[in-house]
Structure 1
Amino acid sequence: MSEIINVSAIAKVEKEKIRNRIEGYRAEGKATPTLASVIVGEDPGSVYYIDMQKKVLESLGGTMLKITLSQDVSEEELLSTIGELNEDDEVHGIMVLFPLPKHISEDRIAMKISPSKDVDGVNPINIGLLASSTGGIAPCTPSSVVEILKNTLGMLEGINAVIIGRSNIVGKPLIQLLLRENMTVTVCHSRTKELKNVAAGGEVLISAMGRPMMITEEYVGKGAVVIDVGTSEKDGKIVGDCDLLSVMKKARLATKVPGGVGTLTTTILMRTLVDLYDKSEA
């Protein structure tokens, strides 16, 4: 029987673990884990996300610094701001919300964030470590996918996973994370031949394209687990890559959009912050 994965329940358990860790720090008289989130301009999506970060972190007992810079801030000013946060011992994680205005190089900004405070894994050092060793910091969205799979399937070793999408923020880091779990990983993209057949061969299918409602039952193997990472707007509504009603004809388990992977990402971001805090205290 097909079933929607209850991602909210997974997030609830993770939040309780994080809350207990932060309460433990307080009991020991230690500082509070602090995240500095930097936003340039007033993009509505970014404003919503940063406010959500603040709400979640403070509910867990942490602290967030919201740093808002004007849309016309110079690249050098932004780099200087990040440099100051890098040197601030009371800041344990730094996140700069992308996209940035066109006059600012996102690559330079990512490189400026200290690897030891890079809470969303955008610094090239963390990207390289993620690909080459057991180290590195992974972006929160692919980390959330792994957490959902672990909670749903338990041991992931040997399971055949198909990822559709090879972006730097989801697809590519997700490949590395799944390989660390000893899964067998196939990566598909816009040039993949016989995409439907390849996708249907996966015990786990993860779609991260941002193409609304593209994935139907034809892409899904019987009894597969389908994780929908894509988000798009269609007819004034937020939808995923999957046509859920169609997908559920074949899938054993699936996430929905909204209410799926995105429900967990902020929580995983906070878990990474607490992990960085532990390393800074070691």
Structure 2
Amino acid sequence: GGMVPVLAGLYVGGAESCSSPAALSAAGVVAVLTVDAEEPPAVPGLRAMHVRARDEPGADLLSRLDECAAVNPGFQAQLKLYEAMGCAVDTSSVLYKRYRLEMLSQRFSEPQDLPGEVFAVDPTTVCQTLNTEVLYRCRKCRRALFRSSSILSHTEGMGPTAFAHKRITESARLSGNGQEKCTSYFIEPVQWMEPALLGVMEGQLLCPKCTSKLGSFSWRGDQCSCGRWVTPAFQIHKSRVDEVRTLPVGNFQTAKT
């Protein structure tokens, strides 16, 4: 039969589809990939590639795939993420949360509406915290803000010199040893943040109870004190919160300041 359109500018057809240069030209075809036992006659003015294979279920196409097709880099990255999650979509995975936020940051210029599943549950709405989790509270008023499961860890950067386009003092260059500690927690958005995030690309994060400054956010990304650039960035300064660890025995809690 003739050429069957798959996408704009992409057609699938039998060997006879290449027998009419005029028809190919009229369809805007500029290159032809043929998978057949015999190489077809050359068509003037067209780029051509021939893969010698029969139309059989067991034909070896994998060995020639790399030279015939370029897989979308974005899809490749998603496949690597899928593999890293154990070949399952784990919505609780730090890798998946970071990926989902990166996709959102690319989609919105000024987010007016955010999917509810992007936000972690406000810890004040849940009575119990797992023994393995750490609760983080506002240092000033003790309001629960987020759990350790909301922290999106990142590999440490090379300190202040990680971003050469930013002005760096000579003293900072000399003192930087590549082992700078992160002074902020970079976390996923929590429900109490939603009013502050809508309609703007960046701003401050204030305690929902006492309004003391906790940190900042930027959908464009921000630089951690270790030098790593995080996009998007929802950072809470460690100096503004306390850790509360649940002990496995009894109902006592211990606070770390």
TM-score strictly above 0.5: no
Indicate the structure whose relative CO is greater, using CA pairs within 8 Å and at least 6 residues apart: 1
- Which has more strand, going by share of residues? 2
TM-score where L is the length of structure 1: 0.21
Give the greater-gyration-radius structure (CA). Answer: 2
